[in-house]
């Protein structure tokens, strides 16, 4: 009869660390497998059964039990492997990190470093730069947006906009308004957060305009007709003035109603049969959708 190995002695602190390895998605698969072996061994599970549960040989289970018994949790990590010593020392690696966090010279004509551009600048291979970026979790090619709103009614407004898509009003004209910001000189409303290890560059999605004119253009999808007009300001009065020149709404369709949390809106031109006269204030209200 085969003798069953006794339960492995594991302290509560070591057991918590091993369980954290099992829950983590960043721990290598080999290290997570060793953590599971030791966790099962601490419960008194036989070596043969551990090997079947983990998917390894019985000798592998015995090896990692001995390594843990002699060196603890540190014994489960990989030992230094033989081979050629690295030619890029710590100073050079930190130089690569510092250069990545700094913007390229204006003569380069780019806003962020690529691995090949930075390698040519520092005299190393692009594989070395990519390896350092992976080690320090640097991703200069990524840009994220952020926004901190101080509007106390932000949740209600978001609820109304989403509700318009989920429960649109019956027989209503839907207007989609968007802007083209790529061709404008602009500043972000908050300073851009620079690239950092583990965090890409981040910027706000809104901005301050520095353009010389404001162009309003409307596309009528049914006919392909484009109506446009330029203004020197960008306010609601100019937008409403432009809407008064836009193509008429679909005949027989009532004017768009506003939601309960928004103030009354001015309808520049109502469809035939609507009780509101052109230029009046639309007082019809629709209840906010449930949910």
Lowest mean pLDDT among 6-15, 211-220, 265-274: 265-274
Give dist(CA 287, CA 291) in Å, integer.
12
Statement to judge: residues 282 and 159 lie in one domain? yes
- Arithmetic mean of pLDDT, 57-76: 92
DSSP state of 180: -
DSSP state of 107: G
In the chain the beta strands, taken as DSSP E runs, fall at 143-146, 186-188, 201-204, 207-209, 214-220, 225-231, 258-259, 265-266, 281-282, 285-286
Residue 170: pLDDT band by 50, 70, 90 thresholds? Answer: confident
Do both 162 and 250 map to the same domain? yes
Contact of 24 with 82, CB cutoff 8 Å? no
Q: List 282's β-bridge partners, or say none.
A: 265
Q: Which pLDDT score is estimated for 109? A: 83
What CATH number should be reported for the domain holding residue 46? 1.10.10
Q: Is residue 27 part of a domain?
A: yes
* Paired residues of 228 in beta bridges: 217
Least confident stretch, 23-27, 168-172, 196-200, 256-260: 256-260
Provide the token pair at 125: 């291979």
What does the pLDDT average to over 6-20? Answer: 90
Q: Are residues 137 and 168 in the same domain?
A: no
180 with 282, same domain: the answer is yes
- Average pLDDT of the chain is 77
Among the listed ranges 41-45, 63-67, 101-105, 259-263, which one has the minimum average pLDDT value? Answer: 259-263
pTM above 0.75, yes or no: no
**Which of 33, 53, 76 is the endpoint of a domain?**
76
For 30, the domain range is 12-76
Q: Give the three-class secondary structure for 70.
A: helix
Locus of tokens 């962020």 = 112
Q: Under a CB-based contact definition with an 8 Å cutoff, are residues 100 and 118 in contact?
A: yes
- Please indicate, yes or no, if residue 199 is contained in any of the structural domains: yes
Domain count, the chain: 3
196-235 pLDDT per residue, tens: 888 888 888 777 766 667 788 887 777 888 888 888 777 8
Asked if 135 and 158 sit in the same domain, the reply is: no
61 and 114, same domain (yes or no) = no
Residues 6+ apart with CB under 8 A from 113: 99, 100, 104, 121, 140
On whether both 36 and 129 belong to a single domain, the answer is no
Q: Which residues, at least 6 apart from 29, have a Cβ–Cβ distance to it below 8 Å? A: none
Q: Looking at residue 201, what is its pLDDT? A: 84
- 191 domain residue, yes or no: yes
Q: Are strands 258-259 and 285-286 parallel, antiparallel or unpaired?
A: parallel
**pLDDT tens digit string along 14-54?**
999 999 999 988 888 999 999 999 999 999 999 999 999 99
What would the DSSP string read from start to end of 184-221?
S-EEESSPPBPPBTTB-EEEES-EEE--S-EEEEEEET
Write the pLDDT tens digit of every residue in 179-200.
665 566 677 788 888 888 888 8
Task: Inform me whether the pLDDT recorded for 275 exceeds 90.
Answer: no
How much is the pLDDT for 20?
Answer: 92
Least confident of 39-53, 96-110, 256-270: 256-270
* Pair 10, 42: CB distance under 8 Å: yes
Same domain, 200 and 223: yes
3-class state of residue 144 by DSSP = strand
Strands 207-209 and 186-188: antiparallel
> What is the share, in percent, of the chain residues with pLDDT greater than 70?
77
**Does residue 249 register a pLDDT over 70?**
no
């Amino acid at each position: 009869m085969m003798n069953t190995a006794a339960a492995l002695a594991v302290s509560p602190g070591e057991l918590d660390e091993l369980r954290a390895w099992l829950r983590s998605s960043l721990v290598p698969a080999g290290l997570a497998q060793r953590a599971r072996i030791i966790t099962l061994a601490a419960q008194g599970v036989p070596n043969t059964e551990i090997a079947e549960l983990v998917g390894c040989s019985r000798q592998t289970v015995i090896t990692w039990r001995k390594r843990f018994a002699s060196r603890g949790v540190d014994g489960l990590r990989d030992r230094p492997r033989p081979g050629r010593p690295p030619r890029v020392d710590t100073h050079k690696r930190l130089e690569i990190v510092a250069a990545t966090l700094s913007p390229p010279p204006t003569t380069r004509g780019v806003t962020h470093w690529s691995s090949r551009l930075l390698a040519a600048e520092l005299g190393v291979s692009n594989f070395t730069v990519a390896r350092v970026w992976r080690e320090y979790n640097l991703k200069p090619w990524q840009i994220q947006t952020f926004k901190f709103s101080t509007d106390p009614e932000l949740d209600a407004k978001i609820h109304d906009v989403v509700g318009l898509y989920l429960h649109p009003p019956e027989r209503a004209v839907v207007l989609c308004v968007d802007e083209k910001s790529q061709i404008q000189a602009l500043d972000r409303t908050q300073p851009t957060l620079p690239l950092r290890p583990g965090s890409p560059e981040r910027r706000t999605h809104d901005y301050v305009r520095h353009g010389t004119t404001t162009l309003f253009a409307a596309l009528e999808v049914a006919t392909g007709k484009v109506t446009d007009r330029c203004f020197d300001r960008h306010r609601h009065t100019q937008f409403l003035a432009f809407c008064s020149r836009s193509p008429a709404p679909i005949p027989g369709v009532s004017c768009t109603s506003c939601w309960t949390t928004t103030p009354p809106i001015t309808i520049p031109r109502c469809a035939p049969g609507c009780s509101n006269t052109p230029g009046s204030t639309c007082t019809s209200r629709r209840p906010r959708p449930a949910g």
